[in-house]
Amino acid sequence: MKFSELGLTKDLLTAIEKHGYVEATPIQEKTIPLTMAGKDVIGQAQTGTGKTAAFGLPILEMIDNENKDVQALVVSPTRELAIQTQEELFKLGRDKHVRVQAVFGGSDIRRQINGLKHGAQIVVGTPGRLIDHIRRGTINLSHVKTLVLDEADEMLNMGFLEDIESILKAVPDERQTLLFSATMPAAIKRIGVQFMTDPEHIQIAAKELTTDLVDQYYVRVRDFEKFDVLTRILDVQQPKLAIMFGRTKRRVDELTRGLTLRGFDVAGIHGDLTQQKRTQVLKQFKNREIRILVATDVAARGLDVSGVDYVYNFDIPQDSESYVHRIGRTGRAGAHGNSVTFVSNSEMDYLKDIEKLTKKRMQPLKPYTREEALAGRMNVAADSVADIVKSTSGVANSEQVDKLVEQYDAKDLAAALLGAVANVEQMDADFKLSHERPLPHKHGNFRGGRRGGGHRGGGDHRRGGGYRGNRGQRERRSYDRGSRNGSGDRSQRGHSGLHVANHVIL
Ligand code: ADP
Ligand code: MG
């Protein structure tokens, strides 16, 4: 839905447009009209779905510009979130000239007091610092019309319940209360009952990131056996059309070479190939002249081929969201798909993070034995033999045929033919992949910076909020191992959260 359909006035619509928002997100679409109608609203939606603007826009709309009192108060769990919310409200309210002040601990309180004195109409603050200002009498909340409890689940996790209660006492009883949260534990519902008037509860269901149409497997392997495990899997699974991901260009080249040696229809693409070569390979793949396409994440971006029944993550992706993109190549248009992700012992944390993001469990796949792989090959060969027999009936009466039949019994002849077609020697063709370092442990050496590049600068990871559903578990896990829960870890979490956002919004 367009923002113009939500009853917002011109100044805000211009700001929204400048901000680059085109369509309202579902939580915005549902809660903005209710808020503008003066109702108390509980808004629940996944992290990154635009809850800030969901309360920010109607608040900005309702601000009386002539009035220099604090008219809206937003309570935010952390200073980062308070700053971020203040920035977003400031940008959206710039054309309307709304004054927004952030107050939080660890920064000069006198400057904040100054800002508050000079007509802040919206205040965004952390509980502790807000209470500080209330006690000092440096903030006047007696004209607040709208109170927002933002990221309410986070605030309760951080033990701010009492602080919130004190803040609620400092604002007028006659007010509008909005509560936004990614999750809705019982304690938050109680706040709703205790401190809100007949609230409307809007819940936006989390969008699924991977589909039930894809059976997702993982296989635990040690590095030196990875390639043999792969070719056995291919022999058994016999994909009709598969995309295989390798971490580096070298890896893609080597996999392509090794798989060719072992008799698979395969070609590779990566960024070092000429555009012409890449186009040619893709065309062959789309025409089914090649059954397995090996690629790096970058080269496969935007690749849209129908009928892919298997995705192989020969190297587990470093970012969970890459996994989602990779897997999205199969299980399309109602067709059933499969994925197999290779993972070493030290990479198990990456697997768990992927599962947290997708909220789906991968099934363990036991590596196949050589016998199982052989049986797989033989099955396919038997089908080919049937085709061969059908198409070569013309030679049935030749002298050589009679000779062979006299010389050998039928069983040996069939076995020889099958063996030749199956090309069994290829199965054991000698091939060694270069050693590719597994991904670094997620905990402990994280700060060392090898993953540092993953954070990608930009404004994104300032979202301290991030994907917080499993914080307790993660912290416990790293604590058990006696390692630090470094700041990098936290950024990583924020990072995933943002990508959840992208999937939902865009
Ligand atoms: P939440 O509070 O739900 O976790 P945020 O309000 O922080 O999410 O928004 C997440 C990101 O989405 C921000 O970068 C924000 O600017 C952006 N965003 C919000 N609303 C929209 C929209 N309607 N269209 C595009 N991007 C949006
Ligand atoms: Mg938020």
In a domain, 465, yes or no: no
Candidates 205, 122, 142, 135; CA nearest to 163 is 135
Chunk the chain into consecutive blocks of 10 residues (it has 506) and report each block's average pLDDT, rounded to whole numbers: 89 91 92 97 86 96 95 92 91 94 87 88 96 94 97 87 94 97 86 92 76 89 94 95 93 95 92 78 90 86 77 91 83 83 94 89 94 91 85 72 87 87 86 85 48 33 32 30 30 31 29
Residues 296, 403: one domain? Answer: no
What is the end-to-end Cα distance of the chain in Å, rounded? 13
Residue 127 confidence (pLDDT) = 96
Q: Does 47 sit in the ligand 1 pocket, CB within 6 Å?
A: yes
Residues 176, 224: one domain? Answer: no
DSSP state, residue 435: P
Residues 27, 49: one domain? Answer: yes
In a domain, 288, yes or no: yes
C-alpha 455/C-alpha 444 separation (Å) is: 17
Supply the angle between the helices 348-358 and 320-327 in degrees, to the nearest 10: 70
Residues 174, 294: one domain? Answer: no
C-alpha 26/C-alpha 5 separation (Å) is: 13
Ligand 1 probe mutation, 22, 49, 203, 506, most atoms within 8 A of CB: 49
Q: Does 48 sit in the ligand 1 pocket, CB within 6 Å?
A: yes
Find the 260 Cα to ligand 1 centroid distance in Å.
47
Q: Does 50 sit in the ligand 1 pocket, CB within 6 Å?
A: yes
C-alpha 234/C-alpha 260 separation (Å) is: 12
Domain boundary among 422, 453, 488: 422
Residues 202, 300: one domain? Answer: no
Residues 35, 183: one domain? Answer: yes
Domain boundary among 159, 175, 208: 208
Find the 48 Cα to ligand 1 centroid distance in Å.
6
H/E stretch holding 113 reads helix 109-117
Q: How far is CA 472 from CA 115, 129, 157, 222, in A?
A: 37, 25, 10, 30
Instruction: Give the domain extent around 410.
Output: 370-422
Q: What are phi and psi of 148, to 5 degrees?
A: -115, 130
In a domain, 356, yes or no: yes
Q: Does 25 sit in the ligand 1 pocket, CB within 6 Å?
A: yes
Find the 21 Cα to ligand 1 centroid distance in Å.
9
C-alpha 196/C-alpha 339 separation (Å) is: 47
Per residue in 214-233, is it b (16+ CB within 10 Å) or e — as a string?
bbbbbbbbeeeebbbbbbbb
Residues 49, 130: one domain? Answer: yes
Q: Does 505 sit in the ligand 1 pocket, CB within 6 Å?
A: yes
Candidates 52, 45, 120; CA nearest to 88 is 52
Candidates 506, 379, 443, 482; CA nearest to 25 is 506
377 close to 232: Cβ distance less than 8 angstroms: no
Residue 124 confidence (pLDDT) = 97
**Which residue's CA is the nearest one to ligand 1's atom 24?**
21
**Which tokens is 304 given?**
């849209």
In a domain, 485, yes or no: no
Find the 252 Cα to ligand 2 centroid distance in Å.
40
Q: Does 31 sit in the ligand 1 pocket, CB within 6 Å?
A: no
Give the burial class of 245: count Cβ atoms within 10 A of its Cβ; 0-12 exposed, 13-18 middle, 19 or more buried: buried
Ligand 1 probe mutation, 3, 23, 25, most atoms within 8 A of CB: 25
In a domain, 477, yes or no: no
- CATH code where residue 326 lies: 3.40.50.300
Task: Count up the domains in the chain and report the number.
Answer: 3
Please state, as a whole number, how many other Cβ atoms lie within 10 Å of the Cβ of residue 418.
16
Residues 353, 274: one domain? Answer: yes
Ligand nearest to the CA of 47: 1
Find the 2 Cα to ligand 1 centroid distance in Å.
15
Residues 245, 182: one domain? Answer: no
Supply the angle between the helices 487-505 and 320-327 in degrees, to the nearest 10: 30
Residue 341 confidence (pLDDT) = 97
In a domain, 300, yes or no: yes
Ligand 1 atom closest to 151 (CA): 2
Residue 490 confidence (pLDDT) = 31
Residues 31, 71: one domain? Answer: yes
Q: How far is CA 65 from CA 75, 86, 207, in A?
A: 22, 17, 38
242 close to 305: Cβ distance less than 8 angstroms: no
In a domain, 186, yes or no: yes
Residue 108 confidence (pLDDT) = 82
C-alpha 250/C-alpha 269 separation (Å) is: 11
Q: What are phi and psi of 202, to 5 degrees?
A: -105, 125
Residue 311 confidence (pLDDT) = 95
Find the 170 Cα to ligand 2 centroid distance in Å.
23
